[in-house]
Structure 1
Amino acid sequence: MAKRFHLGWFTNFTADEWNTPFANGGSPWDGKFYVEIAQALERACFDYLMFEDKLSVSEAYGGTTEVYLKHALGMVPKHDPAPLAAVIGAATSHLGIVATMSTMAYPPFLLARLCSTIDHIAGGRFGWNIVTSAENAAAQNFGMDKLPPRELRYEMAHEYMDLVYRLFDSWEPDAVVMDRETGTYADFTKVHPVNFEGKYFKSRGPLNTVRSPQGRPTLVQAGGSPKGRDFAAKHADSIIALNSSLEEMKAFRDDVRARAEGHGRNPDDIKVLFLVAPVLGATEQDARDKHARMRSGSQFIEYSLALMSAITDIDFSKYELDKPLPERLVTNGEQGSLDAFQQWGSGKTLRELVQNSSGAIASIELIGTPDRVADKMGDAMATVGGDGFLITTPTQAISRRVINEVTEGLVPALQRRGLVRTEYTHKTLRENLRAF
C-alpha cells in the first residue's frame, strides 16, 4: 500500500503551446498565464511549481539556432524565472515556487540576496533549483570559452553552497527586534560578516536583507551521476529523478537516501520526485489514441531530439534515425539526462528511443483514464517507497487544457485513493514537503 506522496509541476517560463487548437497564444510574457496555472495547481494542493532555465540560445541541434527559434521549443524564447517566481508568490498563498538559478551565472552574494527577497515575497514558499549549467554556449555568454569539466563544476558548487549558507545565516533568527522604546530596528550584534575566502569564491557579507522566513530557500537539485547524487544528497530538500524503470527508480532513491545518511542527514527530509508525462483520456482508448497522434506527428521526432540535444549538448541530428546510437555517449552537459535517454533499450534505433520515452525524459509510462493512471502512480510509489512525482508534458510546453486534465481529473482520482493531500497543513514549502 502506497503512503501519501507529493506532486510538483515542471515547466519553463517560455512560450506555451502557441499553435495548437487549445493554446494560450504564445505570449505569456507578462506572467499572468503562469499565475493562472499556479493558482490551478494550488487548488489541487501541489507542493511546488518549478521553472527550469537555460542561459543561451542553443545551437546544439544541427549547429544552428533555427529549429529552436522556428518552433519556439522550450529552450528559447525563455525569460528569467526569478521575477516570475516573485509575481506568483504574491498571487498565491500555499503553493511553493521553485526557480532555477545557476552557480555559474550568479555571484553567491547576489543569489543569496535574491533568494531571501523572493522568499519574503512568497511568505516562505520559495525554492532554488541548483544548477551548474551544462552548455558551452551559456558559458560563452558569461565571458568563458567553455564550461569547466563536470567534476570541477561540482567542486566549485560545493564551495558555492558553503558560502551561501553562511550568507543566509549572517542574520540571526532574532536579529530584527523593532524596539520602539530604544528606536532599534535590528540588533547589530546579531548581524555578522562571513569573511569567506575559498578556492573559488570570496565574500565579506553579511547579507543586507532580513533573514528569510525559511532561513534559506528550499533547495531542489537533479543529480544523475555519482557526483550529482552526492551533491543532491548533501544539499537538497527535493531531488528531481530521471529513471526508466521501477527498479531503477527504487535503486536511485535508496542510493541518495544512503548518501544522505552518510552526510549526517535524515533521509526522510529529502523528497525524491520522479519526472513523468501523463497522457490522460476519458477512456483507455482515447488516451492511447492521443498518445499515438502525438508520437506520429510530423515534427515530434525533430522536437524531441532538438530538446535532448540542448539538454545534453550533443548533436543528435548527426545520427541516423533508424539505426542504434553507435556508442554509449558521454557529455560534459547533463550526463544524467543522457543516461536516462539511452536506458530506454539497448539496440533500439534512435527513432525508437524517442518514441519509447514519449518525447520527454519520463520515469514510467502513464497513459489512460485518470483512475487508471492514479492506480499506476500508487503502485509505483508502493514499489519504490516514495516520495512523489514531478509532472511535465512530452515537450515541456504547457496549456490550460493539460493543466485542467491533471488538476480536475488526475488529482481528484489520487485524492479519492488517499494518495495525495487534500489541504495544506503548513506555511512554508519546506514544512509542506516534510509533512509526510
Structure 2
Amino acid sequence: MFHMGWFLSYAVQAWRAPFSGRAETDWKDPGLYVDAARALERAGFDYMMFEDGSFIPDAFGGSAKWSLANAMTAPKHDPLALVATVGAATSRIGLIATITTTFYPPFLAARLLTTLDHLTEGRCGLNLVTSHNVRTAQNYGLDEQIEHDRRYAIADEWMDAVSALWDCWDDDALVMDHETGVFADHTKVRHADFAGEYFRTRGPLNVPPGPQRRPVVCQAGGSPAGREFGARHADTIIAQAYSVADMKAYRADIDARAAAAGRDPKDVKVLFLATFTFGDSEERAREKARAKEAAAAAAIEPKLASLSFASGIDFGAFPLDEPLPEIRTNAAQSVTALHLRGTEGMTLREIAARRMTGAVEFTGTPDGVAAQMGEAMAEAGGDGFLVQAPITRRIVAEVADGLAPALRRRGLVRDGYAHPTFRENLLAF
C-alpha cells in the first residue's frame, strides 16, 4: 500500500477554468476546503498540505501586474487559520500548514502548532520552508534574502529550538487532581533554555503537549541542503520528479541521507507530486492529455511567470528566440534547476514550450491510472503520491470518487484509518 495526499493553496482556485464554479469568490469560502477534506477523508487520504508564501510575485515584467491579473499565487490567505476550521469538520485526515523557519520565532511557532494539534485532536502538521523570495525577506524587515544554504542552517537550529520547547512538559505533568487542587505539577515542567547562533528561547511553553507531542513535520526542499534537512527532520517529504527513474533516484538519495543521520529511512515518507488526466476510455483520456499538452505548449507567459516566481529573476527580460544564459539564483534553486534541466543551447521559447509541472503525469481511466500508479510505486520504492491540482469540486470528485475506489480495489491505499492521530496513520505502513 502507499499513502495519498493533496498539495493545495489557500488562494484563488482555477479561476476562469471550466467547471470551477464561482472561483473568484469561492476560494475565500472555507466550505470549499471543508467539502474537499471530507471527500478526501472518505477516500482514505493521509493529509492535505496547504502551501504558502508571504509576498505578491513581481519579478516577471518587473511588477505585480501579471500575477495579480492572473491570480497566480496571490491573493492568498494564511493557511494556519484554515487548519482549525477544516479540523473541526473532519476526524481523521491530517492537515499540514506551511510555516517559514526563517521568519517565525520558535516560541510563536511551537505554541501555535501545539494549539492546533489540540484543536484537531492530533492531526496537525507543519510544512517547513525557508522562504525563497527577496520580497518575503523585505516584508519581514530585511533588505535582501539570506543566502540559500544559510537559510537551511537557520532552519536546522529552528527545529532544535522548537523541539526543545515541545519537550518542556513531561507526559505526566498534568495531574488534574480535584482533591489536592493541583492541576499541573510544576516539577515536571522545565525551561527550554535554548541558546544558539540564530535563536534564543527560555520556555517553557504555556500550553501542554498536544496528542502527538510533536506535530508531523513535512518538507519539500529539493536542493542538497534541502534534502539533507528533510532527511534529518521530516516525517514526510514532498518530492518533484518527471519520471519513475527520477522517483527511484530521489528515494535512494533520501534513504542514504536518513540512514547517515541515524534515522530509519522507513520513517521518512516520501510522496511524489502527481497530476492526472482522466477519461471514460483510454483513448478519450489520451485525447484530453494531448489537448492539455498543446494548450500548455502555447502558453508562453505562464511558463515565464512560473520561472520568474521560482528564481526571482525576470524571465520576461530575456529574448525569446535566443539561447538562455546560465541562471544562478538565491531563491528556489531546486525548482528552477528542475524546470531548466536539459535545456542547454535551447531558446527561451523552446524551454517555455516544455511541460513545467515538476510532477509525474498519469493518463487513463481511473482503473488504468490506478494500475500505472501501483507499477510506478513498486519500481520507485517511494511511499505515495501527492495530488497537485486546484481544489474544484469536479477535480476532487474525479480523485475521491473515481481514482480512490480503483486504488482501493487493487489494495493500493487504505480502507479507513486504524489510528486516531496523523503520525500513527502515516507510520502504519
Q: TM-score range by the shorter chain?
A: over 0.9
Q: CA deviation at 1:291?
A: 2.7
Taking the aligned partners of 1:323 and 1:288, their CA distance within structure 2 comes to: 33
Taking the aligned partners of 1:379 and 1:312, their CA distance within structure 2 comes to: 34
**Aligned twin of 1:260:** 258
Confirm or deny: 8 A CA contact 1:366 1:376 kept in the other structure: yes
**Aligned twin of 1:318:** 317
Matching residue's letter, 1:302: E
**Aligned twin of 1:14:** 11
Q: How many residues align?
A: 426
**Aligned twin of 1:407:** 400
Find out whether 1:239 has 2:237 as its counterpart: yes
Q: CA deviation at 1:210?
A: 1.6
Confirm or deny: 8 A CA contact 1:239 1:270 kept in the other structure: yes
Confirm or deny: 8 A CA contact 1:58 1:65 kept in the other structure: yes
Find out whether 1:373 has 2:366 as its counterpart: no
1:248 alignment partner, one of 246, 249, 252: 246
Over aligned residue pairs, what C-alpha RMSD do you find? Answer: 1.7
Provide structure 2 residue ranges, at least 5 long, that are not aligned to the other structure: none
Confirm or deny: 8 A CA contact 2:33 2:391 kept in the other structure: no
Q: CA deviation at 1:348?
A: 5.1
Taking the aligned partners of 1:406 and 1:321, their CA distance within structure 2 comes to: 37
1:146 alignment partner, one of 144, 147, 153: 144
Q: CA deviation at 1:300?
A: 3.4
Matching residue's letter, 1:68: S
**Aligned twin of 2:387:** 391
Q: CA deviation at 1:413?
A: 1.3
**Aligned twin of 2:52:** 53
Taking the aligned partners of 1:314 and 1:417, their CA distance within structure 2 comes to: 45
Matching residue's letter, 2:89: A
Confirm or deny: 8 A CA contact 1:295 1:355 kept in the other structure: no
Confirm or deny: 8 A CA contact 2:102 2:154 kept in the other structure: no
Could you say if the C-alpha distance between residues 183 and 355 of structure 1 is closer, same or farther in structure 2, counting changes exceeding 3 Å?
Answer: farther
Q: TM-score, normalised by structure 2?
A: 0.95
Matching residue's letter, 2:70: H
Q: TM-score, normalised by structure 1?
A: 0.93
Taking the aligned partners of 1:46 and 1:389, their CA distance within structure 2 comes to: 10
**Aligned twin of 2:32:** 33
Taking the aligned partners of 1:368 and 1:348, their CA distance within structure 2 comes to: 31
Q: CA deviation at 1:262?
A: 1.2
Q: How is 1:207-246 mapped onto 2 (pairs within 5 angstroms)?
A: 207-246=205-244
**Aligned twin of 1:330:** 328
Taking the aligned partners of 1:355 and 1:370, their CA distance within structure 2 comes to: 28
Confirm or deny: 8 A CA contact 2:170 2:188 kept in the other structure: yes
Taking the aligned partners of 2:348 and 2:387, their CA distance within structure 1 comes to: 24
Taking the aligned partners of 2:417 and 2:353, their CA distance within structure 1 comes to: 37
Taking the aligned partners of 1:301 and 1:287, their CA distance within structure 2 comes to: 24
Provide structure 1 residue ranges, at least 5 long, that are not aligned to the other structure: none
Taking the aligned partners of 1:148 and 1:54, their CA distance within structure 2 comes to: 16
What percentage of aligned pairs have identical amino acids? Answer: 49
Taking the aligned partners of 2:344 and 2:399, their CA distance within structure 1 comes to: 32
2:418 alignment partner, one of 400, 420, 425: 425
Taking the aligned partners of 2:263 and 2:325, their CA distance within structure 1 comes to: 41
Confirm or deny: 8 A CA contact 1:294 1:300 kept in the other structure: no
Confirm or deny: 8 A CA contact 1:244 1:343 kept in the other structure: no
Q: CA deviation at 1:346?
A: 5.3
2:2 alignment partner, one of 5, 8, 11: 5
